[in-house]
Amino acid sequence: MPSAPAPSSTQPSRHAGRKFARMALDYWNDGNKWAVRGAVVMLVALTVAQVLLAIWVSYWHRDLFDALEARSMAELTHLILIFILIFALTMGVTALHLHIKRWLQLDWRRWMTELLLDQWMTRAHHYRLQLFAGEHDNPDGRIAEDIRIATEAAVGLAHSLLFSLLVMGSFIDILLSVSGSAPLPGTSIAVPGYLVLMAFLYAGVGSVLGLMLGRPLIRTTNWLQTVEANLRFGLARNREHAEAIALLHGEPHERRQADRLFADVGHGWNRQTIAYLGIVSFSTGYGTLLPVFPILIAAPQYIAGIMSLGLLMQAAQAFQRLTSALSWPIDNLGEIARCRASIDRIISLHEDMKILDREDREDDHGERRIELHHSTRPELEIRNLQLTSPSGQVLLDDFNLHVRHGERILITGDPAVTVALFKAAAGLWPWGRGEVFLPAGRDVMFIPQRPYLPAGSLRAVLSYPDDDAAYTTACLHRALECAGIAWLQPRLDDNEDWTRALPLRAQQRLGIARLFLQQPGWVFIEEATDAFDTKDEADTIELLHHELPSATLLNISRHNGMDHFYHRKLVLSLPTASR
């Protein structure tokens, strides 16, 4: 399989919104679609209710100031009772709206997380994704953090946009009805609904200037999120490899690396700060002028007696509502930038994993260069296999191998070749051509040099990838005893970070213990006993033959003196032309 082409760096930013919308449509039509659609309908209905309450408040304010101007205590008491009702309805609608909105945000996040996790954790995509270039760094952060940001922000922005559009339509009508006409300065020409025109002019000028000042914010936010993810990843690696760093006294190097990563964060933060300066300064002035501006331009009509105090205040409030609705792009520019950056990162990862999906489908039709098959025959066969490095160097050429069930084969030679063969047989090596026929089912077990020890109890670690209830305690004890780590038997139910709690030799023995526990029919080992001394390795191989007498064993090992345990020995080296 040739390495996949690197996705275009501009493609996600140009088309990410459209692709994200298609993903949202898939969510809308998924199995939980009626609950989702019901939540969206309820959200729209409650948004309409919020706008109707805002309109009611507008007329209540007009009546309040008219009552104050008339000094009517009876009318004031009546308005207080009405306000109590408005207040109660507003609280109820807002609370219910918040509950449904947060349910929708979480459910959409759950659906999208499951979608990307299904792509990431299938057919070794989480491993293969590292093997070709593309915009998919820190996939764990994209799944955990960017999906959260994108779904929360998208729902929030959609609601605020709908609210602004409804407010705009409603308060244009109110402003037209209360503003009347005003003559153009120096003329007798009357301009009907002049406050509406002034609101559009005020918001239009503000939007244009705001967009111009805020354009750099999207780029700087995307960059900052990337370098923040790099810092998190670097610190997580320090935590994962703390013992090795301490043994090598590598703390100064790691500290310098962390300083460099944080320097990138600081640079990104400063770039974002500069981008924020213009938009925040402008927004502050824009927002400060907004409450005063409509009163100033409508005051002549009030002074002339054309408007009552209530109408003046209603006009000022309607002007503010309308300009706020028209200013939605400016008010939400930072959130749009954050959402857009996360959408770009999600779509980049999604698209690169779709490349792997396409390769898998090609593989199923025998069109990939290394074709992995699951045969029904009890044998392993490799035909005309060529393995190359990522740079194109030939590691193994025209290699053929036929292994019958029950055979034991020792594989030695150049580590680059033997490791590539191990990964190719497991379907993890993407460079080369040829065919690999594996026995069908889960009866093939690949044991890497460094076993994976998941978080949890030792019982769960030993049973992995099966459930920890799949084996009896007696079976687990027997496996630990055979692997030479019976001293761990009392700790089966202890929860530890076992990669730190155990030395490498004990970790490798845990990997071997899984063989004794799960009893596979085919075993392919990649230097999984290299931390053992020669005697311990010989004892382990001898016990494997005793406990798994009919199993087929292919063992990659660099230790000498093991030939007598095997039926055959393969010595693999680089082709002469590649050395």
Closest CA to 134 of 461, 355, 444, 399: 355
Q: What homologous superfamily does CATH list for 15-221+275-360?
A: ABC transporter type 1, transmembrane domain (1.20.1560.10)
Residue 3: what pLDDT?
38
Beta strand 379-388 with 432-439 is antiparallel
Buried-state track 32-53, b at ≥16 Cβ within 10 A, e below 16: eeeebeebeebbeebbebbbeb
Distance of CA 271 to the CA centre of its chain: 24
Is 9 a residue whose pLDDT tops 70? no
Compute how many other C-beta atoms are within 10 angstroms of the C-beta atom of residue 507.
20
Cα 13 from Cα 340, distance rounded (Å) = 8
Q: Of residues 97 and 578, which shows the higher confidence score?
A: 97
- Mean of per-residue pLDDT scores for the chain: 82
Residue 479: what pLDDT?
92
Summarised one tens digit per residue, pLDDT across range 41-54 is 999 999 999 999 98
Summarised one tens digit per residue, pLDDT across range 462-507 is 998 888 888 999 999 999 999 999 999 999 999 888 887 888 889 9
Is 362 a residue whose pLDDT tops 70? no
Task: Kindly state the tokens that stand for 366.
Answer: 């025998």
Sheet holding 370-375, edge to edge: 370-375, 432-439, 379-388, 394-404
Cα 221 from Cα 535, distance rounded (Å) = 58
Summarised one tens digit per residue, pLDDT across range 125-142 is 777 777 666 667 778 888
- Which of 299-308, 343-352, 510-519, 561-570 has the lowest average pLDDT? 299-308
Q: Of residues 249 and 507, which shows the higher confidence score?
A: 507
- Stated as kind and residue range, the H or E segment containing 315 is helix 309-326
Q: How confident is the model at residue 20 (pLDDT cuts 50, 70, 90)?
A: confident
- Classify residue 138 as exposed, middle or buried by CB count within 10 Å of its CB (0-12, 13-18, 19+): buried
Is 566 a residue whose pLDDT tops 50? yes
What proportion of the chain, given as a percentage, has pLDDT over 90? 20
Reduced to 3 states, what is the DSSP secondary structure of residue 291? Answer: coil
Going by the DSSP 8-state scheme, the letter that residue 502 receives in this structure is S
Is 367 a residue whose pLDDT tops 80? no
Instruction: Rank 355-359, 530-534, 553-557 by mean pLDDT and report only the highest.
Output: 553-557
CATH number for 370-572: choose from 3.40.50.300, 1.10.238.10, 3.40.190.10, 3.30.380.10: 3.40.50.300
Reduced to 3 states, what is the DSSP secondary structure of residue 380? Answer: strand
Phi, psi of 431 (to 5 degrees): -115, 125
Is 174 a residue whose pLDDT tops 70? yes
Task: Kindly state the tokens that stand for 175.
Answer: 């402003």
Query: Domain spans of the chain?
Result: 15-221+275-360, 370-572
Provide mean pLDDT across the span 336-356: 83
Phi, psi of 229 (to 5 degrees): -65, -40
Answer for the pair 377, 54: CB distance below 8 angstroms, yes or no.
no
Q: Of residues 186 and 62, which shows the higher confidence score?
A: 62
Residue 12: what pLDDT?
47
Is 514 a residue whose pLDDT tops 80? yes
Residue 185: what pLDDT?
55
